[in-house]
Structure 1
Amino acid sequence: MRLLLAPIAADLADDAVTEVVINRPGEVGIERRGGWTWRDVPELTFDRLDGIAVLCAAMSSQDVGPDRPLCGSMLPDGQRVQICRPPAVEAGTVSLTIRRPNSFSPSLAVLESGGLFAHTMDAQRRPHPADDELCELHRARDWRRFFALAVRSRKTMLASGDTGSGKTTVAKALIQEIPDDERLVTIEDAAEFNLARRNVVPLFYSKGDQGLAKVRSEELIEAALRMRPDRVLMQELRDGAAFSFIRGVAAGHPGSITTLHAGSAAGAFDALRLMVKQHEAGRHLADPDVRAFLRQLVDVVIHCEKRRDGSRGIREVWFDPDAKLASPAPILVAAE
């Protein structure tokens, strides 16, 4: 294993490094406190990465292959690694996300001198700093600026509508507003997003269990949360996978963008509630609690429509920051 890892051994030993990611053969991304740096590593061929994946899985008594393409394991020196092989990722690609353990054990005094508490507040719920401007843009119907600011402010956004209403097109336009320095993980059943970004990992599931891997979208969501994402972008919410998606947002991954089938912006919450209830962990939750929790987590709903003349457009936009200040129902975070 150490021989296979030799091209990134120095990175794995560097105490300043927090994350080492390989999104595709021949390139490695390194995250330090100052952000991401990238370099070409020709030695990291597909065969070498695949060998790392197989050996790493074997070291923790797991199998990883076409029918089981996901694996969480440990490297010899204790680094955690999330492995994604085809068909959960694109053919010819292996994704490795390696997190270095933090050996730094500071005292409270050291943390204070380093500025850790400089912006600490009590836990009372407050409006988001961008909400006033977003409300003004919403009232003025300045939709382009509203959507751009909502994305940059890490608002969780749903594009709803019927089949052919243009909701995926809207979602793709929103994604273009995400800053380039963010790490994205997408979850799709077919390659629709096709993001031209360096730090993105597209994950694929088998729709209707038709593929070899039988990987469910819920499994990909759980894997994505271990891949150091700034945002998890899901092509479309379906069935009980909505529970895992919403719980991921609640667990500290706001700013997600996804789509779902619904007849109106208000109807999107009803559709999402029904999906949450289809999950085993959500079926016994009270409807009022689920509704309240969803309105805590979903910031913007954009309802798309296909008009009679064949054109597509946005019919309505739901945005209600006051819902964030209502009493939360913290039921989906711990439930499973």
Structure 2
Amino acid sequence: MKNLSALLSKNLEILAPYLKKKNIVEISINKPQEVWIETTNKGWSCIKDKNLTHARLMSLTKILATESHQDFDEETPILSLSLPKYNYRLQVISGAAVDSGFALSIRVTTEVEIPLSSWFDKTTIKALKSHIKDRKTILVSGGTGSGKTTLLNSLLREIDNNDRIVTLEDSKELIIKQPNHIRLLKSKTGTDVAKLTYKDFINVIMRLRPDRILLGEIDVENTANFLRLINTGHDGSFATIHANTIKGAISAIVLNCQLAGFQGTEDAVAKYALSHIDLIIQVDRHIDENNNRTFSAEIKEVNA
């Protein structure tokens, strides 16, 4: 393992100049020898880099896959994981599945603590803290790059340190300060060697005796399983979902349930799906003409 870690460290050097940059939001490689950087204050910019050859990028990705116990080859050209040392979410697709032969994107997250006052006024913050203390289940909704995980991390700091927490993510993005916690990782693309399913993880979680369950992101594969958990006594849980509006978040939950095989009318599915979700927080990102970013959020009490 030590030799592998040394090998990984050496191969990561080709990305080091970009990983060290300040104010980075996303690092993307659309094709070898070209990297696109998104920053908080300047938007996207392109840099030509002869060191980012196809061979070196593939070598790095194969090492990352091996270290994370996942497959990556011609038959499995997609890889999702947390970048070691940084814990940034990394997505790779290669081979005939992408026109350029290789594409990569790294979502850069920060552990800087952002106060709830960045989104809400004092009255709303007081109400949110009360909801968390009262073990309300909260869903954070927003589009790509809207700040869902950032807001969720701010909310998680309000959880009591005596609570036992189990998280399930495809990459390590949640910042858990509470000492009694377990972090489970599910391969986004199913490329893990063990081939564990969400059903496998849900069965494990139910036997790990959590006070709260934190799900990194709701999608078609795990919506039904998450609802099963929160409908069996696991109040005070949290999750995120991709949607541009609160109404869209509810529709996405219903659609995911229907795709997972739930029977009944749309209203019946919605009633079941939302029966134990207490609050939906919608996060939005705004970019002005100078590429400066601001964020906003609104709250809907589902079961008021």
The interval holding the TM-score normalised by the smaller chain is 0.5 to 0.7
Point out the more displaced range, 231-240 or 305-314: 305-314
Aligned twin of 2:273: 294
Q: Is the 8 A contact 1:160 1:265 kept in 2?
A: yes
Letter matched to residue 313 of structure 1: F
Greater relative contact order (CA < 8 Å, ≥ 6 in sequence): 2
Aligned twin of 2:285: 306
The one-character-per-residue Cα deviations of 1:2-30 (angstroms, maximum 9, x if unpaired) are xxxxxxxxxxxxxxxxxxxxxxxxxxxxx
For residues 230 and 255 of structure 2, the distance between their equivalents in structure 1, rounded to whole angstroms, comes to 18
TM-score by length of 2: 0.57
- Aligned CA RMSD, in angstroms, stands at 2.2
Q: Tell me the SS of whatever aligns to 2:274.
A: helix
Task: Indicate how the Cα distance of structure 1 residues 291 and 192 shifts in structure 2: closer, same or farther if over 3 A, else same.
Answer: same
- Cα offset, 1:288, TM superposition: 1.2
TM-score by length of 1: 0.52
For residues 195 and 316 of structure 1, the distance between their equivalents in structure 2, rounded to whole angstroms, comes to 24
Q: Is the 8 A contact 1:187 1:217 kept in 2?
A: no
Q: Tell me the SS of whatever aligns to 2:240.
A: strand
Q: Of 163, 173, 192, which residue of structure 2 is paired with 1:182?
A: 163
Task: Indicate how the Cα distance of structure 1 residues 216 and 312 shifts in structure 2: closer, same or farther if over 3 A, else same.
Answer: farther
Matched, 1:318 2:297: no
For residues 216 and 204 of structure 1, the distance between their equivalents in structure 2, rounded to whole angstroms, comes to 11
Aligned twin of 1:256: 237
Letter matched to residue 264 of structure 2: L
Aligned twin of 1:229: 210
Letter matched to residue 212 of structure 1: V
Matched, 1:154 2:154: no
Larger Rg: 1
Q: Tell me the SS of whatever aligns to 1:301.
A: strand
- Cα offset, 1:218, TM superposition: 3.4
**Which structure features the higher share of strand residues?**
2
- Cα offset, 1:248, TM superposition: 0.7
Matched, 1:163 2:144: yes
Q: Is the 8 A contact 2:284 2:297 kept in 1?
A: yes
Aligned twin of 2:224: 243
Q: Is the 8 A contact 2:277 2:303 kept in 1?
A: no
For residues 247 and 234 of structure 2, the distance between their equivalents in structure 1, rounded to whole angstroms, comes to 23
Consecutive unaligned residues of structure 2, counting only runs of 5 or more, are 1-68, 71-83, 85-120
For residues 274 and 188 of structure 2, the distance between their equivalents in structure 1, rounded to whole angstroms, comes to 28
Q: Is the 8 A contact 2:142 2:284 kept in 1?
A: yes
- Cα offset, 1:148, TM superposition: 1.1
For residues 186 and 222 of structure 1, the distance between their equivalents in structure 2, rounded to whole angstroms, comes to 13
User: Where do 1:81-100 residues align within 5 Å?
Assistant: none
Q: Is the 8 A contact 1:302 1:314 kept in 2?
A: no
For residues 202 and 258 of structure 2, the distance between their equivalents in structure 1, rounded to whole angstroms, comes to 18
Letter matched to residue 267 of structure 2: P
The one-character-per-residue Cα deviations of 1:192-211 (angstroms, maximum 9, x if unpaired) are 11313321000000111122
Aligned twin of 1:206: 187
Matched, 1:145 2:145: no
Consecutive unaligned residues of structure 1, counting only runs of 5 or more, are 1-65, 68-90, 92-139, 323-336
Q: Tell me the SS of whatever aligns to 1:292.
A: helix
Q: Of 236, 240, 252, which residue of structure 2 is paired with 1:271?
A: 252
Q: Is the 8 A contact 2:163 2:178 kept in 1?
A: no
For residues 157 and 142 of structure 1, the distance between their equivalents in structure 2, rounded to whole angstroms, comes to 18
For residues 182 and 201 of structure 1, the distance between their equivalents in structure 2, rounded to whole angstroms, comes to 12
- Cα offset, 1:314, TM superposition: 2.8
For residues 314 and 230 of structure 1, the distance between their equivalents in structure 2, rounded to whole angstroms, comes to 29
Matched, 1:285 2:264: yes
For residues 192 and 218 of structure 1, the distance between their equivalents in structure 2, rounded to whole angstroms, comes to 22
Letter matched to residue 226 of structure 2: F
Letter matched to residue 184 of structure 1: I
Q: Tell me the SS of whatever aligns to 1:191.
A: coil
Letter matched to residue 299 of structure 2: V
For residues 260 and 295 of structure 1, the distance between their equivalents in structure 2, rounded to whole angstroms, comes to 14
For residues 145 and 188 of structure 2, the distance between their equivalents in structure 1, rounded to whole angstroms, comes to 19
Task: Indicate how the Cα distance of structure 1 residues 190 and 320 shifts in structure 2: closer, same or farther if over 3 A, else same.
Answer: closer
Q: Tell me the SS of whatever aligns to 1:207.
A: coil
For residues 198 and 177 of structure 2, the distance between their equivalents in structure 1, rounded to whole angstroms, comes to 23
Task: Indicate how the Cα distance of structure 1 residues 213 and 177 shifts in structure 2: closer, same or farther if over 3 A, else same.
Answer: same
- Cα offset, 1:320, TM superposition: 4.2
